[in-house]
Amino acid sequence: MPTYKEIVREYTPLLKDITHIPSKEVEILLLHILNKNVIWLHINYNKEASCQKELEKLVKKRATHFPMEYITLRASFYGETFNTHPNVLIPRPQTELLVERAESILKDIPDAKVVEVGTGSGIISVMLAILIPDISIIAVDINDDALKLALTNAKKFNVENKIKFIKSDIFNEIDVKNYDMCISNPPYIQNDYKLPLNVKNEPSNALFGGNIGDELLKKIIDQTKTNNIEYLLCEMGYDQKNSLNDYLNNYDIESLEFYKDYEKFDRGFVAKFSSVKS
């Protein structure tokens, strides 16, 4: 019977065209099967492996570009581990930048009230609930699987008392008038954009934002202003800065900042509407 070290070496070549860390991903799949950590694996590397067939099955599945996060049902975000679901968008590191900017504003607002549009796995709302002691959040989505998953993640971090998860298309089913902030990582990819293989397994309604791509973002801008919400923070497509800048400037804006992601692409904005509080 081969050792753990030998089966990791055997299956690593199957992932060499899928990821830049093929041996590491084989180890992750192995640890997922064993429910062990990497320290345990390195201590036991030369012991006989009893799960080769199960590992082979998962490696071959990953070799079809099936996302690792949908195999392990886990994803890292903001230094924490969140649950995932195959019908819910996978958390991205770039969304941490959105959370950071929201925290920097909300920490100075007493009893902050926030609405999140398109909560997905709940990572934004859950992290804000962890980071801000006095906060109440309404998090909406049109995806039932997303809402169930988001509640699971909120319970995992003991912040479910700070967040209400509601099925709603933007603000249609909720009352958030005069809230302090709207935050969103909405679908913003152009409908006819050809997705890379590693993204094709994710739900299309969490990715595509319209024929141009920014249609939903513009609806969120409109409804945020209509509901007298002071701050709007959104993630966006790398090529949407100019159109969104022009659109936002149709309104009376006190301040507007666009920011870049870790790869230096335009990725989001922070807008403060003028004189919205009565």
**What are the residue boundaries of the structural domains of the chain, listed by start?**
4-64, 88-273
Query: Which pLDDT does position 218 carry in this prediction?
Result: 97
Over residues 72-79, the mean pLDDT reads 96
Q: What local confidence, expressed as pLDDT, does residue 1 receive?
A: 87
- Convert the pLDDT of each residue in 11-22 to its tens digit: 999 999 999 999
Render pLDDT for 144-175 as a digit per residue (tens, 0 to 9): 999 999 999 999 999 999 999 999 999 999 99
- pLDDT band, residue 194 (cuts 50/70/90): confident
- pLDDT tens per residue, range 54-66: 999 999 999 999 9
Alpha-carbon distance of 234 to 242, in angstroms, equals 15
The pLDDT assigned to 199 comes to 86
At residue 278, the pLDDT reads 47
Q: What is the pLDDT of residue 139?
A: 98
73: left (phi over 0), alpha (psi -120 to 50) or beta: left
d(CA 46, CA 1): 11
Judged against a pLDDT cut of 90, whether residue 130 lies above it is answered with yes
- The share of the chain scoring above pLDDT 70, in percent, equals 99
Q: Is the pLDDT confidence value at 45 over 70?
A: yes
Write down the pLDDT at residue 166: 98
Could you tell me the pLDDT band of residue 277, with boundaries at 50, 70 and 90?
low
**Among 244, 221, 268, residue whose Cα is nearest residue 92:** 268
> How confident is the prediction for the chain on average, in pLDDT?
95
Q: Sorting pLDDT into bands at 50, 70 and 90, what band is 192? A: confident
pLDDT for 207 equals: 84
The secondary structure of the chain, three-state, reads CCEHHHHHHHHHHHHCCCCCCHHHHHHHHHHHHHCCCHHHHHHCCCCECCCHHHHHHHHHHHCCCCCHHHHHCEEEECCEEEECCCCCCCCCCCHHHHHHHHHHHHCCCCCEEEEEECCCCCHHHHHHHHHCCCEEEEEEECCHHHHHHHHHHHHHCCCHHHEEEEECCCCCCCCCCCCCEEEECCCCEECCCCCCCCCCCCCHHHCEEECCCCHHHHHHHHHHHHCCCCEEEEECCCCCHHHHHHHHCCCCEEEEEEEECCCCCEEEEEEEECCCCC
CATH 3.50.50.60 fits 88-273, yes or no: no
Residue 208: predicted pLDDT: 85
Q: Residue 35 has what pLDDT?
A: 94
Sorting pLDDT into bands at 50, 70 and 90, what band is 269?
Answer: very high
Mean pLDDT within 135-139: 98
